[in-house]
Structure 1
């Protein structure tokens, strides 16, 4: 993998995570619920006794974790495109995003179920919007890959 591919993967991860987060933020405002993944991560961190309090839903830790996971998913998507005969299309990106969303939903459900002091949100509605957000993530990442690779 060349340097250009690394930059494109990073760009795809950052762009797709940003677009997904904007979607989640808009749905949060429309539904009057907390669905912003980075902000929820900060609330989980803040409500964990063994971690220092962040006291801010926009603290860097939740955002850092959210974007690192987005870059990891972009790496996975790039590998799928590279190792398969499938074309880099927005539709396939959306499908891969949905698959990543299912994995993410399992992780979030684990957090909500097993965390001693999970933040309040409508978990069912959060998971539904999370799956849609990941479809948008995948389509956005595929678009970046299609433009630059």
Structure 2
């Protein structure tokens, strides 16, 4: 795989995951609920009884959150490169909906296997998570489009 493409996908995933996370933190603060994915991930590591300090669990929660964002962006890239969907607003919405459903199913599974006990408004969390993934997909699509334009323009003027 082209190292420039890997860097491009990493940057896109950082931007999209950050936008999603900011949205989750905003909704969490607005409704005074725990909807923060990295915090929930660090709590999950506690439930799995890993012998990690609080700081290590927090860092791991953030790293896993961003890594999953990277995997989603790689999936989007494959969908776009294989011409399954075009890079468009419609495909961003569709990918966001699909990602939201995958995210909700994943969290249901995570909460079940860890027997998560911390009080959380699951319905509210899943609704927020669904919209957070739509924001993720919209930002990822926009950044992908912008970076592809930059690559095209750069190649046209440099080569």
* Fold shared per TM-score above 0.5: yes
**CA RMSD for the aligned pairs?**
1.8
Q: Is the 8 A contact 2:46 2:57 kept in 1?
A: no
**Structure in which a larger fraction of residues adopt helix:** 2
Listed as ranges, the gaps of 5+ residues in structure 2 are 149-159
Q: Which of 1 and 2 has greater Rg?
A: 2
Q: Deviation of residue 58 (structure 1)?
A: 7.5
* C-alpha distance 57-134 of structure 1, shift in aligned 2 (>3 A): farther
Q: Residue 52 of structure 1 aligns with which residue?
A: 51
CA-to-aligned-CA distance 1:10-68 (integer Å, 9 cap, x gap): 1111110000000000000011100010010001112222x124435971010000000
Instruction: Output the TM-score relative to the length of structure 1.
Output: 0.91
Q: Residue 85 of structure 2 aligns with which residue?
A: 86
Instruction: Output the TM-score relative to the length of structure 2.
Output: 0.86
- Tell me, what secondary structure is at the counterpart of 2:48? coil
- Tell me, what secondary structure is at the counterpart of 2:110? helix
- Tell me, what secondary structure is at the counterpart of 1:59? helix
* C-alpha distance 57-123 of structure 1, shift in aligned 2 (>3 A): farther
Q: Residue 124 of structure 1 aligns with which residue?
A: 123
Give distance in 2, aligned partners of 1:36 and 1:46.
16
* C-alpha distance 122-57 of structure 1, shift in aligned 2 (>3 A): farther
* C-alpha distance 90-80 of structure 1, shift in aligned 2 (>3 A): same
Give distance in 2, aligned partners of 1:45 and 1:19.
24
Judge which range, 125-134 or 104-113, deviates more: 104-113
Judge which range, 24-33 or 39-48, deviates more: 39-48
Q: Residue 16 of structure 2 aligns with which residue?
A: 16
CA-to-aligned-CA distance 1:96-145 (integer Å, 9 cap, x gap): 02201111111101122232343221111101110100000000000111
